[in-house]
């Protein structure tokens, strides 16, 4: 009996459609999920944004997550602007007080100013009174001349009423001095400045306002080549400081702020002196 021939199987060229349909279905499901997640995150971000605005601006947020519009008014001036205006007003008041102090000192020291022994200078720091040491001290000494004590007490009376910090600087020429009392010009200039400071303190000026510094010959106003220049350099300067002391911040090795303290140091430049 003859064997029946099997019908030849033809290749199914449409099978790829099944895989393609599965892929499209999965891709559609993926985008649906992504869209759903996106909608949820958007809502969360809207709530977060509203909360941040409310926290930093202190502005109420309504239930829809929107911030009400705030209309600026003159009362909404920033604290920084107010602080700046207040600081400028204080500075202006300080300048007026400084002018009055300078005027009174000019009147008190008028005879010595006419003789060229005293100069009153206005600087960026305030007012400086430069007094030639020839009328204050004997050569190589740090005791005030009796005839100048009254004039210095008059200056002190003017300064008592003010509240400005006062720095007294002793200066010398470059001629060395060496004796049992003053080994160098550093000691002489420092003691001379301290002598004037003690007179001011005895006159009633608060000790916390006073600083004495000796510079020796390190800050000449004239070259020390000639006798006239050296005579100009031998002086006592009284600086009436208009600057308002500010709090400083200590900085450590990592550059971070540390313990606050007074920025102004009184006595860091100690010592110093000069002759004649």
Q: Which two tokens stand for residue 82?
A: 């107010």
String of DSSP letters for 63-78: TTSPPPP----GGG--
Q: 193 pLDDT exceeds 80?
A: yes
Look at residue 5 and tell me if it is in a domain: no
Would you state the pLDDT for residue 70? 55
Residue 175 lies in a domain: yes
CA 157 distance to own-chain centroid: 31
Structural element, H or E, at residue 219:
none
Q: Domain range spanning residue 33? A: 17-68
Report how far residue 122's alpha carbon sits from residue 238's, in angstroms, rounded to the nearest whole number.
12
pLDDT at 40: 54
Domain membership flag for residue 143 = yes
**In Å, what is the CA distance from 208 to each residue of 94, 98, 197, 204, 214?**
19, 19, 11, 11, 18
pLDDT digits (tens, 9 = 90+) for 153-169: 999 999 998 889 999 99
Tokens of 171: 């200066």
Let me know whether 103 and 39 are in one domain. no
pLDDT at 8: 57
Does 78 reside within a domain? no
Are 190 and 270 spatial neighbours (Cβ–Cβ below 8 Å)?
A: yes
Task: Kindly state whether residues 167 and 235 are assigned to the same domain.
Answer: yes
* Pair (155, 206) in one structural domain: yes
Q: Are residues 122 and 178 in the same domain?
A: yes
Please indicate, yes or no, whether residues 58 and 142 belong to a single structural domain of this protein: no
- CA nearest to 190, candidates 210, 166, 172, 163: 172
42 and 121 in a single domain? The answer is no
Residue 119 class from Cβ within 10 Å (0-12 exposed, 13-18 middle, 19+ buried)?
Answer: middle
Examine the domain organization and report whether 98 and 51 are in the same domain: no
Which CATH number belongs to the domain containing residue 209 in this structure? 3.30.1330.60
Q: Tell me what the mean pLDDT of segment 259-270 comes to.
A: 42
| pLDDT band at 122; cut points 50, 70, 90 | confident
Measure the CA dihedral 266/269/271/273, to 10°. -110
Tens of pLDDT along 11-54?
556 677 777 788 888 888 888 777 777 665 566 667 767 776 66
* Number of domains composing the chain: 2
Decide if 79 is inside a domain.
no
Domain for residue 76, yes or no?
no
Residue 248 lies inside a defined structural domain of this protein? yes
Q: Are residues 116 and 253 in the same domain?
A: yes
Both 95 and 155 in a single domain? yes
**3-state DSSP assignment of residue 238:** strand
The answer to whether position 276 is within a domain reads no
Considering the domain architecture, whether residues 56 and 145 belong to the same structural domain is answered as no
Does residue 147 sit in the same domain as residue 54? no
Q: Are residues 21 and 52 in the same domain?
A: yes
């Amino acid at each position: 009996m003859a064997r029946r021939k099997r019908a030849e199987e033809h290749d199914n060229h449409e099978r790829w459609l099944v895989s393609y349909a599965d892929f499209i279905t999965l891709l559609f499901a993926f985008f649906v999920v992504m869209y759903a997640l996106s909608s949820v995150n958007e809502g969360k971000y809207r709530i977060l944004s509203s909360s941040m605005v409310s926290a930093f601006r202190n502005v109420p947020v309504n239930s829809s997550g929107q911030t009400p519009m705030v209309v600026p008014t003159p009362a909404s001036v920033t604290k920084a602007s107010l602080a700046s205006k207040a600081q400028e007003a204080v500075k202006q008041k300080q300048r007026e007080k400084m002018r009055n102090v300078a005027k009174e000192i000019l009147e008190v020291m008028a005879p010595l100013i006419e003789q060229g022994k005293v100069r009153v200078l206005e600087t960026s720091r305030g007012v400086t009174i430069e007094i030639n040491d020839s009328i204050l001290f004997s050569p190589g000494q740090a005791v005030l001349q009796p005839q100048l004590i009254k004039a210095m007490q008059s200056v002190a009376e003017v300064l008592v009423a003010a509240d400005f910090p006062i720095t007294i600087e002793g200066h010398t020429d470059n001629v060395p001095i060496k004796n049992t009392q003053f080994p160098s010009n550093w000691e002489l200039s420092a003691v001379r400045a301290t002598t004037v400071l003690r007179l001011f303190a005895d006159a009633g000026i608060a000790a916390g306002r006073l600083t004495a510094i000796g510079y020796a010959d390190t800050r000449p106003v004239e070259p020390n080549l000639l006798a006239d220049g050296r005579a100009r350099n031998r002086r006592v300067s009284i600086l009436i400081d208009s600057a308002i002391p500010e709090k400083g911040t200590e900085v450590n090795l990592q550059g971070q702020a540390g313990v606050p303290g007074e920025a102004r140091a009184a006595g860091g430049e100690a010592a110093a002196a000069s002759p004649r």
